[in-house]
């Protein structure tokens, strides 16, 4: 579904992505972990065209959605408007159909009573569920998450991780940058550990969490 080959990216003189290659198959969940500044967000931004790569190749089949750390909802639009705007305006889809689908997405997210609320009237966890609903309303083939829970309190983190787990159970293809190691272990089919612009370790959760790589062990040690 997604293939990135030999991606390189520099900001000024600093090479932030150094020859990154990865593949995501349909129905697969890829988790990207690694220390702050290792290039995880830049990789996601290159994959989703928010940033231009310097070299390398990106091959896609289908469309993608993106969920950010800070929700990025339009503050002056209601929950419903936030969700239906792009499918109607960008995808030019039938209004009634989009509203109907948005209602069922809100129900799925446990927010059926919030469609007329404004983002500032919602908790962080609720806002994040709206932004997941908004991404899903575009019917993406692949969903990218950049630290979807790092702006949330621990109890709200759990509710978002649950939503993502449910999506995984429905075979949604996802690429998730996360600092939640237990979650990554549970939900990922494949894990990439990045450091300093390189993929230092990768494999199944079992492989990566049992890695004898010094850098990997040092990183995982911080979560114990």
Stretch near ligand ATP under the rule CB under 6 A, chosen from 29-37, 104-112, 155-163, 198-206: 29-37
CB of 16 to ligand ATP, least distance (A): 4
* Assigned token pair, 27: 């129905």
Position 41 contacts Mg ion (CB under 5 A)? yes
Residue from 41, 131, 173, 178 touching ligand ATP (CB under 6 A): that is 41
Helices (H), the chain: 40-47, 79-89, 95-108, 124-136, 154-169, 181-187, 205-209, 214-221
Residue from 4, 24, 31, 40 touching ligand ATP (CB under 6 A): that is 40
Tell me the site size for ligand ATP, rule CB under 6 A. Answer: 10
Q: Residue 78 is inside which H or E element, if any?
A: none
Query: 61 CB contacts (<8 Å, ≥6 apart)?
Result: 1, 2, 141
- Give Cα separations from 40 to 78, 79, 85, 176, 206 (angstroms): 31, 29, 29, 10, 21
> 211 contacts which partner out of ligand ATP, Mg ion, none, CB within 5 to 8 A by kind?
none
In the bound state with ligand ATP, the residue whose beta carbon lies nearer, of 42 and 173, is: 42
Query: 96 CB contacts (<8 Å, ≥6 apart)?
Result: none
Position 11 contacts ligand ATP (CB under 6 A)? yes
69 to 98, contacts with Mg ion by CB under 5 A?
none
Residue from 37, 70, 74, 162 touching ligand ATP (CB under 6 A): that is 37
Position 114 contacts ligand ATP (CB under 6 A)? no
CB of 41 to Mg ion, least distance (A): 3
List b or e across 35-66, with b for residues whose CB sees 16 or more CB atoms inside 10 angstroms: beebbbbbbbbbbbeebebeebeeeeeeebbb
Give φ, ψ of 86 to 5 degrees. -70, -45
Position 39 contacts ligand ATP (CB under 6 A)? yes
Residue from 22, 24, 38, 208 touching ligand ATP (CB under 6 A): that is 38
CB of 182 to Mg ion, least distance (A): 19
Residue indicated by tokens 């994040």: 128
Q: Which residues lie near ligand ATP (CB under 6 A)? A: 11, 16, 34, 36-42
């Amino acid at each position: 579904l997604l293939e990135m080959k030999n991606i390189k990216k520099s900001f000024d003189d600093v090479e932030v992505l150094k020859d990154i290659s990865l593949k995501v198959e349909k129905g697969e969940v890829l988790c990207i972990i690694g220390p702050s500044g290792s290039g995880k967000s830049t990789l996601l931004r290159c994959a989703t065209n928010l940033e231009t790569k310097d070299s390398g190749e990106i091959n896609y089949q289908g469309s993608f959605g993106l969920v950010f750390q800070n929700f990025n909802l339009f503050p002056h639009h209601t929950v419903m408007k936030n969700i239906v705007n792009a499918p109607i305006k960008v995808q030019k889809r039938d209004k009634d159909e989009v509203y109907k689908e948005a209602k069922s997405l809100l129900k799925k997210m446990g927010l059926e009573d919030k469609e007329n609320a404004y983002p500032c009237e919602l908790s962080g966890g609720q806002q994040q569920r709206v932004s997941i609903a908004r991404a899903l309303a575009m019917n993406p083939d692949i969903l990218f998450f950049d630290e979807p829970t790092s702006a949330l309190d621990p109890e709200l983190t759990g509710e978002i991780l649950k939503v993502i787990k449910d999506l995984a159970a429905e075979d949604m293809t996802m690429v998730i940058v996360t600092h939640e190691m237990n979650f990554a272990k549970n939900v990922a089919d494949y894990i990439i550990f990045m450091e300093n612009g390189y993929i230092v370790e990768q494999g199944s959760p079992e492989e990566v969490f049992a890695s004898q790589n010094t850098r990997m062990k040092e990183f995982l040690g911080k979560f114990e």
